Amino acid sequence: MKILFVIIDGVADVGTPETQFKTPLQLAQIPTMNQIASTGLAGLMDPVEPGLSCGSDTAHMSIFGYDPFTFYRGRGAFETMGSGIDMQVGDIAFKCNFAYMENGIVKLRRVDREFPEWGLPLIDALNTQLKTPIQIQANHATEHRIGLKVVSNEYSGELTDEIIGTDPLKDNLPLRQAKPKVQSEKAIRTAKIINELSDSIHQMLSEHPINIQRQQQGLPTANIVLLRGCGQRIKVQSFQEKYGWKGAVIAPTAIIQGLGKTIGLEWHHVEGATGDYNSNFINKAKKATELLENDYDFVFLHIKAVDDAGHDKNKDLKIKYIQKVDEMLNYFVSNNKLQDAVIAVTGDHTTPYAYGDHTFQSVPFIVSKLSLLNGKKNDVQFNEISCLKGQLGRFCGKQVMQIIKQYSS
């Protein structure tokens, strides 16, 4: 059996008076997703548990059957591995932003979402110009983010992710000092090292020619790196050992790449797939088709742009990219020779455009077989209201893989 599993990041939403309380999924023209919903099984999923607002990392862990309450150690390691940096079990790393700070106040947590032209040389400077006994390795991840691994030769193996990072979480607040989450020698030592590292980064970046030029141009400088989501590389049972499927991941977004690598899904590059609004969705469908027609039993395909539109509070853009996902799925359905293949589609959390952030509501889930798509249909559609009429009812994310496995057998 061949399986395509599509997670549309942040796809679910809530109705507002502006739309007569219809969600973007209800307003979008999505014939292919509705075809899948009306010929297979449907339900509403709580990604981790009912009433919990979750991040993409914990939601994906739960959906793939790795309990985040047991295994989650922060998203820094996922982001850093996804950026291309190798990590060993126990290494610590951060998901980072270049930010603008003035007199200790973080004026802009994100200097710019699109930063390769000026940001890549600053990443090189992090790797080569810091005057500190701490060794770091940084790489560009997705959009404005970087992954950053921290190594201490003096305290090899003696650092921990049990610290709170330096991100104030909102603009116009003081830069945080890293603090231990627990009063252990490791945590206290790690927090001290990270604060020293943060100070060194600020000093180096403030003196960098790129930032001096930006200041002269009246642009915000990228003079601090917010060290967020400290996490360790975790050790878990591989996806193939757990489910018996050889799996691949198509995900330009670094954090999802890193999670996939952690559980043993093989990452594949797709030309033009960027993890943002410019991503080439059709090329993703072509790559998924190619992988399933060859050696892979299971392909996980991740879409990020829909979530970005929710965070940007842009209803029309969210609808536009939901419809682009439907076009991608139509390409897969129309050009696939594997008529017994299973296709499942869901989201990882709600990102309502009215709020611009993740919320706690359930998300729709659908699964069908390509051989059934032109057969008898029911009246279920792919949205937050209609899917509750499906045979699956309401369930938790940890049940998803077993549902797909049983449906595929």
Give the DSSP per-residue string, 340-363.
Answer: T-EEEEEESSB--TTTTS-B---E
Continuous segment of H or E residues that includes residue 225: strand 224-232
Pick the most confident of 152-166, 266-280, 395-409: 395-409
Residue of higher predicted confidence among 253 and 205: 205
List of domains in the chain: 3-72+236-408 (3.40.720.10), 89-232 (no CATH)
Residue range 23-27: average pLDDT?
97
Cα within 13 Å of Cα(238), Cβ side: 11
pTM: 0.89
In this model, does residue 157 exceed pLDDT 80? no
Laid out side by side, the sheet with 363-369 consists of: 266-267, 247-250, 298-303, 3-8, 342-347, 363-369, 41-46, 393-396
State the pLDDT confidence band at 113, using cuts at 50, 70 and 90. confident
Neighbours of 297 (CB within 10 A): 17
pLDDT, tens digit, for every residue of 314-372? 999 999 999 999 999 999 999 878 878 999 999 999 999 999 999 999 999 999 999 99
- Residue 123 CA to residue 260 CA, distance in Å, equals 24
State the pLDDT confidence band at 17, using cuts at 50, 70 and 90. very high
State the pLDDT confidence band at 153, using cuts at 50, 70 and 90. low
Mean pLDDT over each residue of the chain, to the nearest integer = 93
State the pLDDT confidence band at 156, using cuts at 50, 70 and 90. low
Quick one: pLDDT at residue 378?
92
Lowest mean pLDDT among 36-50, 83-97, 159-173: 83-97
State the pLDDT confidence band at 102, using cuts at 50, 70 and 90. very high
pLDDT, tens digit, for every residue of 207-256? 999 999 999 999 999 999 999 999 998 889 999 999 999 999 999 888 89
Quick one: pLDDT at residue 154?
67
